[in-house]
């Protein structure tokens, strides 16, 4: 297994639209293991393949307190959604920046697991937020891009200042 490098906003590669996984092979399973190790090490509650510069539709998530309830979503599709809620989000690709995003309160998602089997999952709360956040990564969208242009440019300035101070 390996810890992968996580792309940092505003890296243009975060805007790449991921393509569906054609077949769940051992190579895909090996990538899933590396993504899982990377997510737990970060630490994070989710990671999309886009964030490690792989542009295929793969997500790993673990929102449990015990960090032992891994969820793998390959080729995820939201087939139903309900309600709206605002949640304070963070992102491993935008370290140190947190802010609210309005998303569906609950979602039903259809996906393949690491064995290539199809399943359907109903999610609400943090899990629903995380699924939508990670699916945005696969579509090339970063959570700060829901904010006003003014808030986005202030965020970029803060990130650049932080980067300068760690050089």
76 near ligand K1U, rule: CB under 6 A: no
Nearest residue by C-beta to ligand K1U? Answer: 44
Cis amide bond preceding 42, omega within 30: no
Phi, psi of 4, deg, nearest 5: -95, 155
Binding-site partner at residue 31 among Zn ion, ligand K1U, none, CB < 5 to 8 Å by type? none
Beta-carbon contacts of 99 under 8 Å, excluding residues fewer than 6 positions away, are 88, 89, 143, 144, 147, 151, 155
Residue nearest to Zn ion (CB): 91
Surface-to-core class of residue 45, CB atoms within 10 Å of its CB (0-12 exposed, 13-18 middle, 19+ buried)? buried
Residue 43 binding result from ligand K1U, Zn ion, none, given CB thresholds of 5 to 8 Å by partner type: ligand K1U
**Does the annotation count 134 as an active-site position?**
yes
Query: Could you say which residues in the range 81-110 bind ligand K1U, by CB under 6 A?
Result: 89-93
Among 65, 69, 88, 134, which one carries the catalytic annotation?
134
Neighbours of 30 (CB within 10 A): 12
Catalytic residue numbers, as ranges:
134
| Residues that bind ligand K1U in the complex, under the rule CB under 6 A | 43-47, 89-93, 129-130, 133-134, 137
């Amino acid at each position: 297994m390996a810890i992968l490098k996580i792309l940092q906003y505003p890296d243009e590669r975060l805007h790449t639209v991921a393509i569906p996984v054609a077949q769940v092979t051992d190579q895909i399973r090996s990538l899933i293991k590396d993504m899982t190790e990377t997510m737990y090490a970060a630490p994070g509650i989710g990671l999309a393949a886009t964030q490690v510069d792989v542009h295929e539709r793969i997500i790993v998530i673990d929102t449990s307190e015990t960090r032992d309830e891994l969820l793998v979503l390959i080729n995820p599709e939201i087939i139903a959604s309900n309600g709206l809620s605002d949640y304070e989000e963070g992102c491993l690709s935008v370290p140190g920046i947190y802010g609210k995003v309005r998303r569906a309160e609950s979602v039903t998602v259809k996906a393949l697991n690491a064995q290539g089997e199809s399943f359907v999952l109903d999610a609400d709360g943090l899990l629903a937020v995380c699924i939508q956040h990670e699916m945005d990564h696969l579509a090339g969208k970063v959570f700060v891009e829901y904010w006003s242009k003014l808030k986005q440019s202030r965020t970029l300035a803060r990130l650049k200042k932080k980067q300068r101070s760690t050089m």
